[in-house]
């Protein structure tokens, strides 16, 4: 009986993979056709051969890596600051219901607003270099983490807190022994979203104004109409974003068990 | 209510700090000078016009997402094998930085509002497809069996069974779609200096009109807060019915 089911499963997964492979080839073929048809300006839809060549010449070129390092530094610094302050504010709101009642609606409705709009202000405050990008990445990462932490705080069983106060836990002990263990799951799950959105915003900020970084590369290749190189940077960026997203997903899965 | 008081208090502190030159007025303008700029934005900078442009872009992009996304989600459910094959991909696309592709669309559709609409549509359509598909998939099979054993036609089945059962998930999709189209529309307007509110903020920054720029940013934030508040209220009301 068990054998039968697994054979059926295997057959289905083979079918699914077949559909996926065919889809990839159809899309790729359509793209190549469009590229060679002359229907659109060739510069916009460069042949995938050219794009692949550009990808290889890019990753073997040492001039590419300062851009990667710059973007990753900005993103990780901003993401780190945003996550830590999000956890802090979330716990603060959780322990002070009065404060939470006043400020929570603001946080909730500011959370989905377009953060990129803060960029001009941040450029004034932190300069056109890394500072403004770190700041905008931090602001973007802050909201999902703060909301998830606060929601997690609301779901901590009151019994745990009673036990902790019976044992005369200090506030620091409470945070380390009661709050954080209960909050790990929601925090890690929200970090996935926080990383994705703050990475996008960092790149957008670089596109708008910077002299180094992947976003800067994208817009520079666009302006010089080196479209195959622009595609190459975009593809590498997408691959990185998806790998990071997958790893964060794996992390939050492993925390769940 | 108390939240507003706190913000007023913060503005007062800021005002004092700027007036006493603790903070340079060239980076943070005094809240009073920002307030003074608000009527100027309405009178001279065509704020209402930009607001309408942005809202129009969001409206068209969301409508397109809904009209195209819902049938696609239904197709994925109807032809289950394709749904299974593409579900993971859709999730990946949903979390991918699609907005970065805007230079390509700029070349394809020109430097205009059409580009912003197309980009916002692309970002807004995935959550609708995904949530339509998931919503339909989670309809208990018993419902459908009962409906067919009563001899319901396909149209009736859809209207009386599938749609009501999948509605909460559909709403989630629409809400996400609206949020994403809004963020994208404003971001692209700001980046390429075309169109509505995003353009206005970028333009004021370029002209170094600092108080005006702060006022415009505040306006965008207030507009987006009201926008999301309205979506929330609509969803609550519809879910109650």
pLDDT band at residue B35, thresholds of 50, 70 and 90?
Answer: confident
Q: Which of A74-83, B18-27, B66-75 has the lowest mean pLDDT?
A: B18-27
Q: What residues of chain B lie within 8 A of the CB of A123, using their CB? A: 205
Mutate to test the interface with B, among A113, A118, A143 (most CBs of B within 10 A): A113
The per-residue pLDDT for B241 is: 61
Angle at B106 between CA B110 and CA A136, to 5 degrees: 140
With residue A256 as reference, give the H or E element that holds it.
helix A227-256
Cβ–Cβ contact B27 with A under 8 A? yes
Kindly determine whether residue A200 and residue B97, on different chains, have CB atoms separated by under 8 Å.
Answer: yes
pLDDT at residue A27 is higher than 80: yes
Give the other-Cβ count within 10 Å of B239's Cβ. 10
pLDDT of residue B167: 86
pLDDT(A221) > 70: yes
Interface test mutation site (partner A, options B29, B85, B109, B123, max chain A beta carbons within 10 A): B85
Q: Is A216 on the interface with B (CB under 8 A)?
A: no
Q: What percent of chain A has pLDDT over 90?
A: 39
Of the listed ranges A214-228, B8-22, B179-193, B201-215, the one predicted with least confidence: B8-22
Is residue B132 pLDDT above 50, yes or no?
A: yes
What chain B residue is nearest to A12 in terms of C-alpha separation? B81
Q: What is the mean pLDDT of residues B56-77?
A: 94
- Shortest Cα distance from A119 to chain B (angstroms)? 9
CB contact under 8 Å between B3 and A196, yes or no, is no
- Interchain pair B182, A114: CB under 8 A: yes
Distance CA B217, CA B206 (A): 14
Convert the pLDDT of each residue in A224-240 to its tens digit: 888 889 989 999 999 99
User: Locate tokens 């008081």: which residue?
Assistant: B5
For residue A199, what pLDDT is reported? 94
The answer to whether B183 contacts chain A (CB < 8 Å) is: yes
| B3 touches A: beta carbon within 8 Å | yes
The arithmetic mean of pLDDT across residues B107-131, rounded, is 91
- Picking from A23, A110, A245, the nearest residue to B225 by CB comes out as A110
Asked if the Cβ–Cβ distance from A230 to B202 is below 8 Å, we say: no
Q: What is the b/e burial string over A25-47, where b = at least 16 CB atoms within 10 angstroms of the residue's CB?
A: eeeeeeeeeebeeeeeeeebbbe
Q: What is the mean pLDDT of residues B180-190?
A: 91
Distance between CA atoms of B216 and B47, rounded to whole angstroms?
Answer: 8
Q: Is residue A67 less than 8 Å (CB to CB) from chain B?
A: no
Nearest Cα residue in chain B from A21: B85
N- to C-terminal Cα distance for chain B? Answer: 30
pTM of the model: 0.88
In the predicted model, what is the mean pLDDT of residues A107-133? Answer: 89
Segment B103-121 mean pLDDT: 88
pLDDT band at B133 (very low <50, low <70, confident <90, very high): very high
As a whole number of angstroms, the longest Cα–Cα distance in chain B is 79
Identify all chain A residues contacting B183, using CB atoms and an 8 Å cutoff. 112-114
The pLDDT value recorded for residue A1 is 46
Q: Report the C-alpha gap between A196 and B194 in whole angstroms.
A: 26
Residue A226 has φ and ψ, to the nearest 5°, of -90, 75
pLDDT of A26 strictly over 60: yes
ipTM rounded to 2 decimals: 0.86
Q: Cβ separation of B190 and A208 shorter than 8 Å? A: yes
Summarised one tens digit per residue, pLDDT across range A208-219 is: 888 899 999 999
CA angle, residues A140, A256, A94, in degrees to nearest 5? 50
Percentage of chain A modeled with pLDDT above 70: 96
Residue A44: pLDDT over 80: no
Cβ of B27 within 8 Å of Cβ of A124? The answer is: yes
């Amino acid at each position: 009986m068990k054998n039968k089911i697994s054979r059926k499963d295997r057959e289905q997964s083979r079918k699914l993979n077949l559909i996926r492979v065919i889809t990839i080839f159809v899309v790729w073929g359509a793209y190549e056709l469009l590229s060679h048809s002359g229907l659109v300006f060739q510069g916009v839809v460069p042949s995938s051969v050219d794009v692949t060549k550009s990808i290889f010449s890019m990753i073997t070129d040492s001039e590419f890596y300062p851009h990667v390092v710059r973007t990753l530094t900005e993103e990780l610094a901003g993401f780190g600051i945003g996550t830590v302050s999000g956890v802090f504010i979330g716990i603060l709101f959780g322990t002070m219901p009065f404060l939470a009642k006043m400020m929570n609606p603001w946080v909730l409705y500011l959370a989905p607003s377009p953060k990129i709009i803060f960029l001009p202000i941040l450029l004034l405050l932190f300069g056109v270099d890394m500072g403004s990008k770190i700041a905008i990445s931090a602001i973007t990462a802050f909201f999902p983490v703060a909301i998830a932490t606060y929601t997690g705080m609301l779901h901590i069983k009151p019994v745990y807190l009673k036990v902790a106060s019976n044992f005369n836990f200090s506030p620091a002990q409470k945070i380390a022994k009661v709050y954080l263990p209960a909050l790990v799951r929601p925090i890690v799950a929200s970090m996935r979203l926080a990383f994705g959105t703050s990475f996008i915003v960092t790149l957008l900020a670089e596109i708008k104004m910077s002299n180094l970084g992947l976003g800067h590369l994208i817009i520079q290749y666009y302006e010089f109409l080196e479209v195959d190189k622009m595609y190459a940077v975009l593809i590498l960026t997408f691959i990185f974003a998806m790998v990071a997203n997958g790893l964060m997903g794996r992390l939050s899965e492993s925390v769940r068990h | 209510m108390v939240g507003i008081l706190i913000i007023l208090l913060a503005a007062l502190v800021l005002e004092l700090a700027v007036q006493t030159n603790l903070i340079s007025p060239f980076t943070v303008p005094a809240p009073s000078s920002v307030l003074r700029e608000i009527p100027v934005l309405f009178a001279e900078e065509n704020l209402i016009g930009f607001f309408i442009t942005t809202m129009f872009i969001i409206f068209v992009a969301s409508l397109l997402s809904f009209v195209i996304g819902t049938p696609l989600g239904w197709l994925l459910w109807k032809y289950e094998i394709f749904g299974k094959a593409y579900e993971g991909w859709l999730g990946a696309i949903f979390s991918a930085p699609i907005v970065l592709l805007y230079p390509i669309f700029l070349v394809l559709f020109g430097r205009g509002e059409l580009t912003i609409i197309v980009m916002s549509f692309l970002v807004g359509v995935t959550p609708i497809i995904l949530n339509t598909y998931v919503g339909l998939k989670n309809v208990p099979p018993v419902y459908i069996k009962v409906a067919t054993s009563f001899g319901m036609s396909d149209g009736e089945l859809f209207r009386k069974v599938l749609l009501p059962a999948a509605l909460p998930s559909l709403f989630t999709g629409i809400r996400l779609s609206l949020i994403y189209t809004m963020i994208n529309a404003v971001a692209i307007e700001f980046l390429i200096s075309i169109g509505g509110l995003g353009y206005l903020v970028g333009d004021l920054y370029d002209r170094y009109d600092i108080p005006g720029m702060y006022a415009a940013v505040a306006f965008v934030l207030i507009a987006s807060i009201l926008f999301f508040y309205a979506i929330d209220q609509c969803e609550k009301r519809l879910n109650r019915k």
